[in-house]
Amino acid sequence: MTKVIKEKIESNNINGLFEIKLDTFKDFRGEIWTIHSKEHTDLNFVADKVTISNFGVLRGFHGDPYTAKLITCLSGRFQLSVVDLRKDSETYGNSETYVVSDRDPSVIIVPKGCVNAHLCLSDRCVFYYKWSEEYKGPEHQVTVAWDDPKINVCWPIQNPILSDRDKNGTPYEGIYL
């Protein structure tokens, strides 16, 4: 069997959050890697989604109590930040940040009950994610303020491009998923 994982790194800040560095095969034609296999996680995913963003677009923090996600970058580069909002979690309120790119392939496994946001750092980025539950719409998710000072995420852009939903996000304190 071909190796698909170089390294699996568990977050020190959020229980159940993992970064998986992918093993890649490269030759004169390009490269290939495996985004998801049973080696990555035993989660069952039911939907695949893609968002394509331009430089400076920030999406999130969004999430719900039911959906775990597997996230990777198919093209470009983005900053991904995750916040634990699980009610009984020892790591409630903690955050973790990654830079994910197609140049150094990895996947991030986000547990259900955590919210995530990403900021496009390249001219264009393709954010690919697998969902463990079908998307039911924004009315079934929470939207936490991307710039909540208590989360303390260091975004490298002062004035990102935001949707109305993200402009109106609320502080995370008191939100339990």
pLDDT tens digits, 160-175: 999 999 999 999 999 9
Q: In this structure, what token pair is assigned to residue 136?
A: 């039911």
> pLDDT class for 39, splitting at 50, 70, 90?
confident
Sequential DSSP letters for the chain: ----EEEEEE-SSSTT-EEEEEPEEEETTEEEE-S--TTT------EEEEEEEETTBEEEEEE-SS--EEEEEEESEEEEEEEE--TT-TTTT-EEEEEEESSS-EEEEEPTTEEEEEEE-SSEEEEEEEESS----GGGSEEB-TT-TTT----S-SS-B--HHHHT-B-STT---
Whole-Å CA distances, 131 to 43, 70, 156, 165: 9, 7, 27, 21
Catalytic residue among 98, 128, 129, 172: 129
Using 50, 70 and 90 to split pLDDT, how confident is the model at 81?
Answer: very high
Is residue 128 annotated as a catalytic residue, yes or no?
no
What whole-number distance in Å separates Cα of residue 141 and Cα of residue 143? 7
Contacts of 156 (CB under 8 A, 6+ apart): 79, 119, 121
Residue 62 is among the residues annotated as catalytic for this protein? yes
pLDDT bucket at 3, cuts 50 / 70 / 90: confident
State the average pLDDT over residues 146-153. 96
8 Å CB contact between 128 and 52: no
Q: Model-level pTM?
A: 0.95
Q: What percent of the chain has pLDDT over 90?
A: 95
Please say if the pLDDT value at position 1 is more than 70. no
- Cα distance between residue 99 and residue 163, in whole Å: 22
Q: Which residues contact residue 38 at a Cβ distance below 8 angstroms, ignoring those fewer than 6 apart?
A: none
| Contact criterion met (CB below 8 Å) for 118 and 80 | yes
Structure confidence at residue 2 (pLDDT): 67
Interval 121-139 mean pLDDT:
97
pLDDT exceeds 70 at position 20: yes
Judging by beta carbons within 10 Å of its beta carbon (0-12, 13-18, 19+), is residue 141 exposed, middle or buried? buried
Mean pLDDT of 24-28: 93
Q: 62, 128, 172, 176: which one is catalytic?
A: 62
pLDDT at 132: 98
Structural domains in the chain? 5-167 (2.60.120.10)
Residue 43 pLDDT > 60, yes or no? yes
